[in-house]
């Protein structure tokens, strides 16, 4: 049934620093960009009119990008129209709020629901609430309280971030945690107050599917008989790529000369991701792995499912992940996952059933896990099939978007419900 325009509810998804319209794998674009875009498009199919707001970070970028009927990205000018690292964006947020308000006035739209993403957007949402009635839902994507436990140099913005994250948890109408582990961290490290619902991230189970390994390898020009371990993601120290490389060097399967390592992901020379890529390449060379390691760079949307299907195992060695989309993309492709035993990865990867979990930063444990899975093809295939089944049952975008849509409606109804007075006796 086609829904009349006037019946559709407006929602704004705000993602100040993660542009949902950019090519993923470029300029630090990763899970948050994917999440906002996918949630947006899925909600539009469910009858919402969805506007995704972000900061315009290139002079040549279009101000409005239409993704699908009733789903578009709107880029607001707030600060210089160039890439700014996320730790340096805070001072431009008041302008972002002003531009958001002006946009609403110009278009004659009022958003009764906003879903903010990452702490910068949480601040924007809390400011907007001062000017207009709305309900705010928020997804953290990363928690300062967790992140700062693990980094050596705490940035100057840390206090502001921690305050914003706490206030948001206590005042937003609802926080969307993407895993029980993330929810637990919010409660133990941020605040016991505030409402939290757990709704996982999802993935497109039609795009990521179990295709034939032989066909996938043919398409990519990869050897048929070689074992392939695959990493995809941003080049960031916290992704633990070093652990993977050191693990590969210790595997028996490598000593037998039957292993290839593919490390995919975009990077820019001289920027933080380019510096990390060079560091990793340095370790690869130092350990004598350059012959068996390839760096294909950013992998296009069309080829990414083919890479997952071509791999024998996908490795997610992050120091921490609130969710970790890569794990479910690999699983949807029928590829077992070896991941760090942390955060959302404990929720998505079932150790011994859909892959293996290892202590983070423990290259010996990762090496053993790689040998176990690559050393038993039958078990590898069984893990891959169970992985696919788990994603179909729990992490498809359609299911996730339906849970989010129900939540928005519920929160809106609670907020707008008239207060019922108790009848006096
Ligand atoms: N990704 C990609 N191409 C790349 C690098 C990353 O498409 O070259 C995608 C990857 O498929 C996944 C997302 O970026 O959808 C990374 O999300 P994840 O939650 O694993 O990590 P985050 O970037 O949020 O830390």
Q: What pLDDT, on a 0 to 100 scale, did the predictor assign at position 151?
A: 76
Which atom of ligand 1 is nearest to 299's Cα? 8
Ligand 1 atom nearest 316 alpha carbon: 20
The interface pTM score, or ipTM, of the predicted complex is: 0.97
Among protein residues, the one with the nearest Cα to ligand 1's atom 22 is 31
State residue 2's pLDDT score: 41
Write the residue with the smallest CA distance to atom 24 of ligand 1.
Answer: 31
Residue whose Cα lies nearest atom 17 of ligand 1: it is 31
pLDDT value at position 4?
42
Span from the CA of 29 to the centroid of ligand 1 (angstroms): 7
Cα 143 to Cα 166: distance, rounded to the nearest angstrom = 10
Interval between CA 108 and ligand 1 midpoint (Å)? 35
**Successive 10-residue mean pLDDT values, the chain, 425 residues:** 60 97 79 94 95 97 96 98 94 98 95 97 97 95 90 88 98 97 96 97 93 95 96 95 98 95 94 94 98 96 96 97 94 98 96 98 98 97 97 93 95 77 44
Q: What are the residues facing 382 on neighbouring strands? A: none
What is the rounded distance in angstroms from the CA atom of residue 394 to the CA atom of residue 293? 33
Residue 418 is predicted with a pLDDT of 63
Q: Per CATH, the architecture of 213-394 is what?
A: 3-Layer(aba) Sandwich (3.40)
State residue 420's pLDDT score: 54
Q: Which of 31, 147, 322 to mutate to test ligand 1, by most ligand atoms within 8 A of the CB atom? A: 31
Predicted confidence at residue 423, as pLDDT, reads 46
Q: Please identify, by atom number, the ligand 1 atom nearest to the C-alpha of residue 203.
A: 15
Which residue in this structure is represented by tokens 């012959």? Answer: 291
What pLDDT was estimated at residue 419?
54
Domain ranges of the chain: 5-202+397-416, 213-394
Write phi, then psi, for 208 (nearest 5 degrees).
Answer: -95, 105
Q: How far is the CA of 65 from the centre of ligand 1 (A)?
A: 21
Q: What residue spans of 212-319 are helical by DSSP H? A: 213-220, 241-250, 252-255, 272-286, 304-310
Atom of ligand 1 nearest to the CA of 321: 25
Distance from the CA of 110 to the center of ligand 1, in angstroms? Answer: 32
Q: How does DSSP assign 385-421, residue by residue?
A: HHHHHHHHHH-BHHHHHHHHHHHHHHHHHHHHSPPPP
Query: How far, in Å, CA of 281 to CA of 171, rounded?
Result: 45
The confidence score (pLDDT) of residue 425 equals 35
Whether the domain at 5-202+397-416 and the domain at 213-394 fall into the same CATH topology: yes
Under CATH, domain 5-202+397-416 is a member of which superfamily? Glycogen Phosphorylase B; (3.40.50.2000)
Average per-residue pLDDT in the chain? 93
Q: What is the pLDDT of residue 333?
A: 98
Lining residues, ligand 1, CB within 6 Å: 24-25, 30-32, 34, 232-234, 264-266, 298-299, 304, 323-326, 329
What integer pLDDT is reported at residue 154 of this predicted model?
87
- What residue's CA is closest to ligand 1, atom 14? 30
Number of the ligand 1 atom closest to the C-alpha atom of 265: 8
């Amino acid at each position: 049934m086609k829904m009349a325009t006037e019946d559709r509810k407006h929602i704004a998804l705000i993602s100040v620093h993660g542009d949902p319209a950019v090519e993923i794998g470029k300029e630090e674009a990763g899970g948050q960009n994917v999440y906002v875009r996918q949630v947006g498009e899925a909600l539009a199919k469910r009858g919402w009119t969805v506007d995704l707001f972000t900061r315009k970070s290139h002079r040549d970028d279009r101000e409005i990008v239409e993704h699908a009927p009733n789903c578009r990205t709107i880029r607001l000018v707030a600060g210089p129209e160039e890439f700014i690292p996320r730790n340096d964006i805070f001072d431009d947020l008041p302008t972002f709020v002003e531009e958001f308000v002006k946009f609403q006035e110009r278009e004659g739209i009022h958003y009764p629901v906003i879903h903010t993403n990452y702490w910068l957007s949480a601040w924007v949402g809390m400011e907007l609430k001062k000017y207009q009635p709305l309900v705010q839902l928020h997804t953290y994507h990363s928690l300062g309280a967790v992140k700062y436990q693990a980094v050596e140099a705490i940035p100057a913005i840390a206090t502001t971030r921690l305050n914003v994250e706490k206030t948001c948890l206590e005042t937003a109408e609802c926080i969307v945690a993407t895993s029980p582990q993330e929810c637990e961290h919010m409660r133990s490290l941020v605040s016991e107050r505030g409402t939290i619902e757990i709704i996982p991230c999802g993935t497109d189970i039609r795009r990521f599917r179990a295709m034939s390994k032989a066909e996938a390898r043919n398409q990519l020009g990869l050897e048929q008989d070689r074992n392939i371990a695959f990493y995809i993601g941003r080049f960031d120290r916290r992704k633990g790529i070093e652990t993977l490389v050191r693990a590969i060097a210790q595997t028996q399967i490598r000593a037998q000369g039957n292993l290839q390592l593919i490390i995919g992901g975009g990077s820019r020379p001289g920027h933080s991701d380019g510096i990390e890529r060079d560091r990793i390449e340095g370790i690869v060379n130092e350990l004598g792995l350059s012959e068996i390691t390839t760096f294909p760079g950013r992998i296009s949307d069309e080829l990414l499912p083919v890479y997952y299907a071509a791999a024998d195992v996908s490795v997610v060695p992050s120091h921490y992940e609130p969710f970790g989309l890569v794990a479910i993309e690999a699983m949807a492709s029928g590829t077992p996952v070896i991941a760090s035993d942390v955060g959302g990865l404990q929720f998505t990867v079932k150790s011994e059933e859909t892959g293996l979990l290892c202590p983070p930063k423990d290259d010996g444990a990762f090496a053993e896990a790689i040998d176990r899975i690559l050393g038993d093809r039958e078990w590898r295939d069984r893990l891959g099939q169970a992985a696919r089944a788990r994603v179909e049952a729990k992490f498809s975008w359609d299911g996730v978007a339906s849970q989010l849509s129900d939540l928005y409606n519920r929160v809106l109804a609670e907020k707008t419900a008239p207060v019922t007075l108790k009848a006096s006796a």
